[in-house]
Structure 1
Amino acid sequence: MNASVPPRHRSRWFAVAVLAVLLALGTGAWLYVHGALPAPVPEAAGPFGYADYAQALNHVRPSGDLDFEGLQRDRAALERFVASLAAVSPHRQPELFPSPQEGLAYWINAYNALVLMQLVERHPDGVEASWFGRFYWGRAWPVGGERLTPWALEQRVLLGEYADPRVNFALFRGTRGGPRLDGAPYQPEFLDAQLNDASRRYMGDARHVKLEDHTVHLARLFEERKQDFLAALPEGRGGNVLQFVWAFLPDTCEERPGCDTRGDLDRACGPQLDKCRVDFIPEDTSLPDAETAARR
C-alpha cells in the first residue's frame, strides 16, 4: 500500500497552509494598524505632565513651521514625554483624567507628540517620503498598555470617542498644509478656547479656505470629515459645510492679510450660503521646515 499523499492532496494542503499564513498575517496587520495589540507598561518615572513636551514645542515658529535644529537639541525632552505615554493614559488610569477635557487634552498632545517625534527621527524626510500614508500607520507606539499607530489614535480614540469636530484642526499632520502645530500643549482648563483658536487659525489660512467669485476652495479635510462638521450644525447632516466654515472665519484680516472673512462669504454665497460651488483642494504635504521656508 502506498502511504504517500497524492500530489493533488499535497497541492490542496499547501494552498490551505498558505491561505492560513496569509490570513494570520492579514489579521495581525489589521490589529497592528488599528491599535488593538497590547504593549508592555513600564513603571512611571514620576507624575505625568506636559513640561517636557512644552520644552520641545518652544521650537515651533509662529507660522507653524518647525526649527528642526532646535528640536534636535531638545530631542531628549521630546523622547522623555513620548516615553511617559507608555505608562499612563486615560484608558489605563481613568482616575487620573476624571473629566472629558483632561482625557481629550492628553490624546491630542499624545498624537501631536508622536507625529513630531517621527518627523525628528526621519528628518529631512517627511510625510511625502512615505507611500500610501504609511507615515501614519507604519509605526506603533506603546501608549498606556496599547500599541497605537497615529492612525489608530486619530480614528479610534480622538474621532471615535470624542464628538468634537474642532479636534480635526488641532491634530498636527506633519505637513505644511495641514493644521498648524501650536507652540504650547493643550491644557484641560483652556481646552475649549484652544480648540476654538485652532479652528480659527485653520479657517483664516488661505490654503484652507479661499473665495474666488462664487467658488469656495476648501481644504480636502472638509471633504474627508464632512459628516463630523455637518453633525455639529443645528440643521444636522442636512446642512451645508460652509455654515461650519463661516462660524470660524475671521471678521477682519488684520492678522492674516488676504484671508477671507465672514462678510466675504455672506456676500459671495448669500445668506443661506447655498449660492456657491465648493471645490476641494489637496493638502500641501511638504515638510514644515522653518529653514526651508526661510530660503523661499
Structure 2
Amino acid sequence: MAVLVALAAGAWLYVRGALPAPVPPAAGPFGYTDYAQALNHVRPSGDLDFKGLQRDRAALERFVASLAAVSPHRTPELFPSPEDGLAYWINAYNALVLLQLVERYPEGVASDWFGRFYWGRTWPVGGERLTLYALEQRILLGEYADPRVHFALFRGTRGGPRLDGAPYQPEFLDAQLNDASRRYVGDARNVKLEDKTVRLAHLFEERKQDFLAALPEGRGGNVLQFVWAFLPDTCEERPGCDTRGDLDRACGPDLDRCRIAFVPEDTSLPDAASTAEQRR
C-alpha cells in the first residue's frame, strides 16, 4: 500500500511540474533571438514548414536549452513586470510544443492517446521539471488568469490557435494578445454564424468558465459576450467573415436568441507541406 501511495504521489508531482531540475550555467544573456529565428518557418496561414525547421532546428534547440537556466520563478530580477513573466511563459510553452513536434515529425499530437503529448514529457525550466500541462495549468492560467492566453498558446493542431510569426514581447504583450484573440475569433473555423446557431470551436466549451469570469459584472453568463468583443466590425480583411453587427442582428442585444453548437477541433498537424499537397 505504501508503495502505491508513493507511486501516486510521484506521478502527481511529475504531472504538476513539482519536481526539481538541474540548473546549468547561463550560456549568455537571455533573449528571444533564437526563438525568433525558428519562427521564420511559420507561414502567414499559421502552417509550419517543418522540413525547413528541421534543417534549421539548432536555433530552436538553443532557445529551449536557455530556458533551463532562467525563469521568472528562479531569476525574477530578469523579469521585473507581469508582462515580462507572461511573455516568457507563453514563448516557453510554444517553443516546447514546437520542438516536440519537430522531433517526432511527421507524427502530430493526435498520435498520442489521452493527451499524452501534453503531460508525458518533462522539460527543465528554471530549476523546475515541467510538463506542458503543468506549464499551462499551474503557471500560465494559475498565476496570470488572462483568458486571452488561450488564443496565444500553440497546441500543435491545425484547429487550435495559430503560432504567431514572432515571439511575444513584454512591451507589446497586450496588443499581441488582443491580435491573437481577434485572429482566432475572426476565423470561420472557430466562430461561424448560421441563421440562429453560432458554431464555436471546442476551446470555447473547454475553457468556458475562464471566458465567463472575464466578463464585466452584469453581462450575464453567455460566452458569446466574450466572442463579440473580439469579432471584427467589418470583413475587409476576411471577406465573408461574421461581424459584431451580424451577431447583434441574429442573436439580439443580449446575444441570447441564438443556439450555441460546439464543434470538435481539427487535431491534424499544421504542416505546410500537407497543405501544398492538397492544393495540387
1:282 paired with 2:264, answer yes
1:79 paired with 2:61, answer yes
Partner residue of 1:20? 2
Tell me the distance in 2 between the aligned counterparts of 1:237 and 1:229. Answer: 12
From 51, 59, 78, the counterpart of 1:69: 51
TM-score w.r.t. structure 1 length?
A: 0.92
Residue deviations 1:173-226 (CA, integer Å, cap 9, x gap): 000000000000000000000000000000011111011111111111111111
* Number of equivalent positions: 278
From 152, 166, 187, the counterpart of 1:184: 166
Partner residue of 2:102? 120
1:139 paired with 2:115, answer no
Deviation at 1:236, TM superposition (A): 6.2
Tell me the distance in 1 between the aligned counterparts of 2:244 and 2:277. Answer: 34
1:229 paired with 2:211, answer yes
Between Structure 1 and Structure 2, whose CA radius of gyration is higher?
A: 1
TM-score w.r.t. structure 2 length?
A: 0.97
Tell me the distance in 2 between the aligned counterparts of 1:236 and 1:149. Answer: 37
1:109 paired with 2:117, answer no
Deviation at 1:73, TM superposition (A): 1.5
Determine if contact 2:90/2:168 at 8 Å carries over to the other structure: yes
Q: Which moved more, 1:245-254 or 1:46-55?
A: 245-254
Look up the SS of the partner of 1:206 in the other structure.
coil
Partner residue of 1:242? 224
The amino acid across from 1:179 in the alignment is P
Tell me the distance in 1 between the aligned counterparts of 2:4 and 2:275. Answer: 45
Tell me the distance in 1 between the aligned counterparts of 2:253 and 2:172. Answer: 33
Deviation at 1:153, TM superposition (A): 0.3
Gaps of 5+ in 2: none
The amino acid across from 1:121 in the alignment is E
Residue deviations 1:228-253 (CA, integer Å, cap 9, x gap): 11111112684311011000001122
The amino acid across from 2:221 in the alignment is G
CA-based RMSD of the aligned residues comes to 1.0
1:204 paired with 2:204, answer no
Partner residue of 1:59? 41
The list of structure 1 runs, each at least 4 consecutive aligned residues, that deviate by more than 3 angstroms after superposition, is: none
Sequence identity percentage: 87
Determine if contact 2:219/2:225 at 8 Å carries over to the other structure: no
